[in-house]
Structure 1
Amino acid sequence: MCGISGWIDFQRDLTREQPAIDAMCATMTCRGPDAGGTWVRPHAALGHRRLAIIDLPGGAQPMAAATSDGEVAIVYSGEAYNFTELRDELRRRGHRFDTDSDTEVVLHGYLEWGPQVAEHLNGMFAFAVWDTRTEQLLLIRDRMGIKPLYYYPTEQGVLFGSEPKAILANPLAEKIVDADGLRELFVMVKTPRQAVWSGMHEVEPGTIVTVDRKGLREHTYWRLQAAAHTDDQQTSVSHVRELLDDIVRRQLISDVPRCVLLSGGLDSSTITALAGLQLAQSGEQVRSFAVDFVGQTEHFVPDEMRATPDTPYVHDVAEHVGSRHQDIVLDPDALADPAVRRATVQARDLPLGLGDLDQSLYLLFKAIRGHSTVALSGESADEVFGGYKWFHDPQVQQAENFPWFAVRSLPVRQTNTLSPDLAAAMDLESYVADAYREAVSSVPVLDGESDLDRRMRQICYLHLSRFVRVLLDRKDRMSMAVGLEVRVPFCDHRLVEYVFNTPWSLKTFDGREKSLLRHATADTLPKSVVERVKSPYPSTQDPKYAAVLQRQVADLVAAGDPALSLLDEKWLREAMKQDPNGIDQAARFTFERALDLSTWFEIHHPTVKL
């Protein structure tokens, strides 16, 4: 796993711009702490920071290959899980390799197949290829958008990077956020290509962006398609298991220590169990980690999202699988530490206000990094198999809105915490409605589907094309901020395609959520986990945490922090009056937002233009 950056300029001599190129590359050090380098030619500069995972001595980048009529260079982030098979195929086609790295395989794959190399890859990846033969840049991103990639067109070319910070380090990039950028911050709609920063764009998953002297253009090489599902129930269950066995086997490949993330839910427990079975074949014990909070299990209070604490189920799985397990237990002071908040906002480049959900994940990954460099996660199974409660709510199924808004009324809650003038100018309700219509219009259609199957296809598609990207981005940023590679087996495109096209009746054939996954893996799991009701990523319930936030926001108010101008000052002051031992969720959410905004302004000094 790595961080990439670059600058293409068809008028400027970039060999004279080494300081700016180095600055862009340096912002990616957290993603690649092991090594770094640049490759600079008059009109193209590529930067790379490396986290060594495969072929530790031989995978240095940028990597270039000489051909009879020019040079081709690549900077690559990610993993191609089928690189050994591709290397064998390329060797049969006459290619010779000097390393054992997957990067060299991708580079030679480009020499053989051109941009179509993306269609040959199974994995998570974001990479840039500069072809001197055509003076053409290609930016290529994996099918599900597991690895990030951004670009910023300029008058004479383009800037690009794994994260916005790489682009913003270049003097050509302006730190401006316009009205639509702000809207993206305050509602989770994940508009395609929208990167919040004005002028900057995100390469869409499954997409190739080409830049040359003629300009910039996009090509989609993969998208979800509707297809008839002809397998019966048992065949479907068996095929899901076969896919998962193959996926986990591939994603355990590593030349550095690896582990699994375990929450005690069906998804992470499945990955832990399958990884345990795979590693046992070579006499190796799977290692697992879980996040917990001081006193959470003893004092847990069920709420609308979480009916049970994670830890008892985590320990059931660890004992059942025989994993070498460790709980990472966090206290309120660690979660509310301003330095930790700064690290998470810096990693995100944005103030998303998710608070302890980000901070605990960052601290979990930081602790894991002391033992492992690669971790497998159960992320995205809910989007693939239909696991969230709102999938099964008849009112949500019928609502003409994003399901995660229909159940929570988030646009309304967000508007209530904004300054009145900003709320009126942003009109988040209309923005969400427009985004929903656009999203639904792109859902693939299968002739002959029932009304329920058609609607559930829409809901599944919205989660796979919008919601999951928010979660994948969070996972990537928090893990790469500490140099940890997190792999997501449930995002293998073969599994996503297969399950997407199973009818809703098959996804729920036992009267519960995620029927296919539960029955495909029940034989590997303790009964307690097989029967457990879905519970999202945990959040601390300790009132001390919210009380610390309240004191920190009081300091911002007293100092007249400029970031607070975006929020409703009257509402914020009322929230400040709440009893520190009984702060409600709305107030806590607003405190998180205020603190994130303040930190963001301090780091980036953005110019907000409405």
Structure 2
Amino acid sequence: MCGIAGIFYREKNRPVNAQLLANMAAIQHHRGPDGFGVEVMEGQGVGFSHARLSIIDLNENRARQPFRSADESLLLAHNGEFYDYQRIRTDLTSRGARFATKSDSEIILHLYPRFGMEETLRRLRGEFAFALYDAKEDALHLVRDRFGIKPLYYHMSDTGVVFGSEIKVVMAHPEVPRRFNNEGLLHQLMQVMVPGTTPYEGIHQVKPGHIVTFRRQGLGYQVEDRPYWDFEFPEADFHKGPKDEAESIEAVREGLTEAVRLRLEADVPVGCYLSGGVDSCSILGLSAAMRQDPVKAFTIGFTDKAYDETPIAQEMAAATGADQDILRLDANQLYGHFEKTVWHAERTIYNTLAVAKYLMSQHVRDAGYKVVVTGEGSDELFAGYPSFRRDLFLHGLDDMDAGERKRWESMLGESNALFKGAMLAEEEHDDLYLTDRVGFTPSCLQPWLSCEDTARGVLNQDRAALLADYKPGFAIAEKLDRTKLDGRHPLDRAQYVWSKTMLEGQILTWGGDRVDMANSMEARPAFLDHHLAEMATRIPPLHRIKDRKEKYVLKEAMKGLLPKTLYEREKFAFMAPPATINKDKWNAMMALADEHLSESAVAESGLLDAAAVKGLIAEAQSDNTARARKVQLDAVINHMLGVQMLYRHFVSTDVPALAEAKAKELGWTAEANIKAAG
């Protein structure tokens, strides 16, 4: 896992500044503190840089990126891990390939010339983002893994393309603008983003499972953005008729076992994250079964017992003989590191779970670990969130009799009461555009879409006026591929929408890569192995959710590894306690508000309306405000703090100067790069 950056100028004869590339590597030093590299292809108007975190092939001189092909026609910068790469290397060697390193990254330079991009990607397994320049085609390819586990951003202008693993890396180029766009700002306050977008003008994401190709053409570029993989469910008819439950269970057991085995391979120690959920407990159980030595298990604990899962995590650790390390967090710790977390996430966060994850990755790194295997993705594959159960009940069980329907309604009412206003909307929210595209408005989006009026109300009035005709639901719906939704079972549609919105925009950003790599720590989500995912799409909906058991098929597959308490327990969404219902957290939140949401700070940024901000905080503090509304307002206040912090760090701050200063501090200079390369 690393950080990549690069420049592809429209004019081939425009020199690429090697020191600027070194600066772009330096500002993401946290992603790769073990070394850096810069490569400029003279006369091609292209150059890449790389900040390295050593996981595979620890020899810095040998495995130093960016890589060039033997014939000098290809330039590669790669971030991530390719699993099963040894088998691919063996096959390529038998075809005449000669490898210069032991790195997994190098396989691209041998796959691509032999098989082309599409077949290369079909053979790759893992989480990755890479840039490949092909001098023969005069084309730059930006590629992101199937689920978007690894980030990749770019900016295109009349003068060139600038890309990087993080937005701040792209902004380190002095020609890239640093300002919010109004639509992105509104979505930041609502939590849910439009797939492929960012809140910053002209800066885009490579979408998960996509290739964006830039070819020089005349006075500009020919740009092609195409998918190479999607999370695709079968037609609803596929699920009709009896299905063998035992076959589903065995398929999950085999698929997850293989995914975990591959992710335990590294040239450094590998630990596990452990909450009290079935996902991380399954990962730990399998890891312990495959290892001879005790697995290091890292657990987050909260001082608020209603949100704390450490008792079950301790039970699981004891059952597997794991060496458990518990990090307990209170309100001051969470809000004390809120701004730093936002700087790394580069987007707003609705819950301080992101801060907890940031502090945990720091703790893991301090304990001497660079790699952990995690449970992210399980809820996406096996319908673990309360919103999925709700959508199945409302839209996928039409043949249910009155008694059974009443029982399901009771289950929905009892479950996840703590998270009304965040994980579930307090009231039904029907969006015309999403209902047209999906068939209903997915429950996972409803709590955030229901924040639209509140978010618009706190916007700077001039900005709000410019958004009068903007429809957030329409913008999201337009990015969803109708061909992957039409004719599918309602539960499959709900899971597909989540994967395109909340998974990539939340779970894998401020809940994953960005807060993990903030402390140079690589997280490997085994459930997001695409072989496992493709199998999971074919599991019948009522094997995923059965009666009161969400992720039923997973629990049955892992039954022998899980403590009885966990096996019988319903899904409990892992999140930090909201500040609006916790006095200590509220005081810590308001300390930040005094600085970032003051009248002067709001006036300086021009993003929010000071009077509306004050009124919203008063509503959140009132004893007359319902609990679910307080939970919702907690999220909006966190978002308001976030946009103000983003303004401070990425708009009012001179990011190119910051990157230059960081490079000087580290000694990451063009001269140092030449010396290292020699």
Tell me which residue corresponds to 1:216. 223
Tell me which residue corresponds to 1:114. 116
| Distance in 1, Cα, partners of 2:599 & 2:479 | 42
Cα distance per residue 1:501-555 (max 9 Å; x no partner): 3221222245521111111111111011111221222313642121122133234
| Distance in 2, Cα, partners of 1:540 & 1:511 | 25
Does the alignment pair 1:315 with 2:329? no
Tell me which residue corresponds to 1:473. 509
Q: Which TM-score applies when normalising by structure 1?
A: 0.89
Structure 2 residue aligned with 1:62, among 63, 66, 72? 66
Whether the 8 Å CA contact 1:544–1:581 is kept in 2: the answer is: no
Does the alignment pair 1:495 with 2:532? yes
Structure 2 residue aligned with 1:247, among 246, 259, 262? 259
Equivalent positions of 1:365-514 (< 5 A) are: 365-371=361-367, 372-393=369-390, 397-398=394-395, 400-406=440-446, 409-419=450-460, 422-423=463-464, 425-427=466-468, 430-436=471-477, 438-439=479-480, 441-446=482-487, 454-470=489-505, 471-474=507-510, 475-509=512-546, 511-514=548-551
Tell me which residue corresponds to 1:144. 147
Secondary structure, aligned partner of 1:239: helix
Secondary structure, aligned partner of 1:495: helix
Tell me which residue corresponds to 1:292. 301
Tell me which residue corresponds to 2:79. 77
Structure 2 vs 1, CA of residues 14 and 291 (structure 1 numbering), >3 Å: closer, same or farther? farther
Tell me which residue corresponds to 2:658. none
Equivalent positions of 1:23-422 (< 5 A) are: 23-42=23-42, 43-57=45-59, 58-67=62-71, 70-116=72-118, 117-214=120-217, 215-227=222-234, 228=238, 232-279=244-291, 283-293=292-302, 295-297=303-305, 300=306, 309-337=308-336, 340-350=337-347, 352-371=348-367, 372-393=369-390, 397-398=394-395, 400-406=440-446, 409-419=450-460, 422=463
| Distance in 2, Cα, partners of 1:66 & 1:438 | 40
Whether the 8 Å CA contact 1:20–1:171 is kept in 2: the answer is: no
Structure 2 vs 1, CA of residues 556 and 4 (structure 1 numbering), >3 Å: closer, same or farther? closer
Q: Which TM-score applies when normalising by structure 2?
A: 0.81
| Distance in 1, Cα, partners of 2:94 & 2:555 | 41
Cα distance per residue 1:235-270 (max 9 Å; x no partner): 111011000000000001111121111111111111
Report the CA distance between 1:405 and its aligned residue. 3.0
Report the CA distance between 1:197 and its aligned residue. 1.7
Does the alignment pair 1:551 with 2:599? no
Q: CA RMSD in A?
A: 2.6
| Distance in 2, Cα, partners of 1:568 & 1:155 | 35
Q: Which amino acid aligns with 1:33?
A: P
Whether the 8 Å CA contact 1:266–1:532 is kept in 2: the answer is: no
Report the CA distance between 1:599 and its aligned residue. 1.8
Cα distance per residue 1:177-209 (max 9 Å; x no partner): 222222332334432321222222211111112
Structure 2 vs 1, CA of residues 264 and 573 (structure 1 numbering), >3 Å: closer, same or farther? same
Structure 2 vs 1, CA of residues 395 and 126 (structure 1 numbering), >3 Å: closer, same or farther? closer
| Distance in 1, Cα, partners of 2:86 & 2:351 | 41
Secondary structure, aligned partner of 1:30: helix
Cα distance per residue 1:47-84 (max 9 Å; x no partner): 100000001003211111222xx432211000000101
Structure 2 vs 1, CA of residues 252 and 589 (structure 1 numbering), >3 Å: closer, same or farther? same
Cα distance per residue 1:1-59 (max 9 Å; x no partner): 00000001141645452232222222221111100010012311001000000010032
Tell me which residue corresponds to 1:521. 558
Structure 2 vs 1, CA of residues 9 and 16 (structure 1 numbering), >3 Å: closer, same or farther? closer
Q: Where does structure 2 lack aligned partners over 5 or more consecutive residues?
A: 396-429, 431-439, 654-678
| Distance in 2, Cα, partners of 1:285 & 1:119 | 35
Report the CA distance between 1:425 and its aligned residue. 3.9
Give me the identity figure in percent. 28
Report the CA distance between 1:162 and its aligned residue. 0.8
Whether the 8 Å CA contact 2:194–2:475 is kept in 1: the answer is: no
Whether the 8 Å CA contact 1:226–1:445 is kept in 2: the answer is: no
How many residue pairs were aligned? 583
Whether the 8 Å CA contact 1:157–1:211 is kept in 2: the answer is: no
Tell me which residue corresponds to 1:595. 641
Structure 2 vs 1, CA of residues 412 and 267 (structure 1 numbering), >3 Å: closer, same or farther? farther
Whether the 8 Å CA contact 1:417–1:590 is kept in 2: the answer is: no
Structure 2 vs 1, CA of residues 162 and 259 (structure 1 numbering), >3 Å: closer, same or farther? same
Report the CA distance between 1:556 and its aligned residue. 4.1
Cα distance per residue 1:221-241 (max 9 Å; x no partner): 112334346962111110110
| Distance in 2, Cα, partners of 1:171 & 1:386 | 44
Structure 2 vs 1, CA of residues 533 and 416 (structure 1 numbering), >3 Å: closer, same or farther? farther
Q: Where does structure 1 lack aligned partners over 5 or more consecutive residues?
A: 301-307, 447-452
Whether the 8 Å CA contact 1:547–1:580 is kept in 2: the answer is: no
Comparing 578-587 with 226-235, greater Cα deviation is found at 578-587
Cα distance per residue 1:281-301 (max 9 Å; x no partner): xx22111111112x323xx3x
Report the CA distance between 1:210 and its aligned residue. 1.5
| Distance in 1, Cα, partners of 2:470 & 2:599 | 32
* Relative contact order, higher structure (CA 8 A, sep 6+): 2
| Distance in 1, Cα, partners of 2:639 & 2:294 | 41
Q: Which amino acid aligns with 2:613?
A: L
Whether the 8 Å CA contact 1:118–1:140 is kept in 2: the answer is: no
